[in-house]
Amino acid sequence: MKQIFQAAKAVLVCVFLLAAVALSAQERRYVQAYELNVIGKALPTGGVYQRFDPKPYGMNGLRGQQAEMSTGLAVCFKTDARSIGVRWKIGGFRSHTNMTPTVACGFDLYIKRDGHWVFAGSVGPGRLADQYEATLVRDMAEGEKECVVYLPTFDHLDEMELSVEEGAYIEPMDNPFRFKIVCKGSSITHGASASRPGAVWPARLCRELGLYCVNMGFSGNSKLQEDFARVLADMEMDAIVFDAFSNPSAEEIRARFDTFVDIIRQAHPDIPLIFLQTLRRDSGNFNETTRAYEAAKKAAAREVALRRAKVDKNLYFVEVDEWIGTDGYGSVDGIHPNDLGIDRMLRQVSPRVARILRKYGIK
């Protein structure tokens, strides 16, 4: 008899929970994210949540897949809601040894307070599934909020809805960032080891300087290729900041740099092109082969950039010897900066980039 009673109790609990979930769903209002304001796309494309269409540029394989990721995209909106949730479908979540599920295929929310963008909440997939739903923030004070939600960096986002409680409004907000700065680079720019999408360095640079930064990071595949230069030539922008020397070898840097810049300069003859020196990798602390390979890359980068800067007054080379420190705590794997490493990097890079941009009235 006791077993029957416990079974009946368990059934009643399940029924109650299912009813509560159904009621909760009925009390939420869902809005397609694309009905708000999606920013961060490199070029117009039919895919709502992809950076650009790789097909016209002959990109296929992994680079084509990366072009269609939602890396660097964000949704801007205003709401008076006290809670904000997100429901989404992604293309193919898989684990990565050097990144969190949240940065790979999750979201984070920033809300403006006293003129500053303040972190409000983040969510990631807690399990393998076709569809996910989670609350970004709840129990907020009443009143209008200006919001930016950053999208997954290492996955294809198929569908996305934002939710607020019934009775609250949610509406598009104009892009709160000014000018347009393209950040082109490797997995460091793509965001491999940041904790969440809004912690990736182009997103942080965007919020800290108030500039509209477009993320063109391609993990492992940014090697000064001509097709990437053609994409950049087709984009409208006010400046480009390059993490251009992390992926190519010293030989590739010397062979490809001038042609890469030539293609961009044909379309953008006067905008500032700011090339950052690649970081020192802790993976070379004891591996002599890695240390020599990386030293050769840095020497080649310095050589080609400074030579070109002598004839191109709008090309800059920012020499940052220790992007992420030397104590070993600035990266996840001796290569990719974590949040601490990104913070250390930006403390050095942001002021130098800002000084250059101010010369062009970009501030």
- pLDDT one-digit tens code per residue, 220-250: 999 999 999 999 999 999 999 999 999 999 9
The whole-number pLDDT of residue 321 equals 67
The mean pLDDT value for 167-177 works out to 97
Lowest pLDDT segment from 56-60, 125-129, 328-332:
125-129
Token pair, residue 273, equals 């092109």
- pLDDT, tens digit (0-9, with 9 covering 90-100), for 177-227: 999 999 999 999 999 999 999 999 999 999 999 999 999 999 999 999 999
Strands 170-172 and 145-150: unpaired
CATH 2.60.120.260 positions along the chain are: 29-172
pTM of this prediction exceeds 0.85? yes
143 has pLDDT over 60: yes
pLDDT for res 4: 42
CA distance 172 to 182: 23
Residue type present at position 124:
G
Domain 29-172: assigned CATH number: 2.60.120.260
CA atoms within a 13 Å half-sphere pointing along the CA-CB vector of 31: 23
Q: What is residue 110's DSSP assignment?
A: E
Whether residue 342 has pLDDT greater than 90? yes
Class of domain 178-358: alpha beta
Q: Does the pLDDT at position 127 exceed 50?
A: yes
pLDDT at 114 over 60: yes
Confidence bin at 13 (pLDDT 50/70/90): very low
Q: Residue ranges of the alpha helices (H) in the chain?
A: 2-26, 61-67, 101-105, 187-190, 201-209, 226-234, 250-267, 288-309, 339-358
Say how many residues make up the chain: 363
Report the candidate in 250, 219, 245 with the shortest Cα–Cα distance to residue 333: 219
Question: In the predicted model, what is the mean pLDDT of residues 99-109?
Answer: 93
CB 116 within 8 A of CB 33: no
Using DSSP, how many helices (H) and how many strands (E) does the chain show?
9, 15
Are 202 and 208 in contact, with CB atoms under 8 Å apart? no
Tell me: pLDDT of 8 over 60: no
How far is residue 52 from each of residues 92, 164, 266, 321, 328, measured CA to CA in Å? Answer: 19, 30, 21, 33, 36
The number of CA neighbours under 13 Å toward the Cβ of 39 is 26
Report the DSSP beta bridge partners of residue 214: 182
Residue 291 DSSP SS3: helix
Q: How confident is the model at residue 280 (pLDDT cuts 50, 70, 90)?
A: confident
- Proportion of the chain above pLDDT 90, given as a percent: 78
Residue 204 sits at the vertex; the CA angle it makes with 43 and 108, to the nearest 5 degrees, is 85
The Cα 173–Cα 38 span in angstroms is 10
Residues of the chain with CATH 3.40.50.1110: 178-358
**Could you say which DSSP state residue 363 is in?**
-
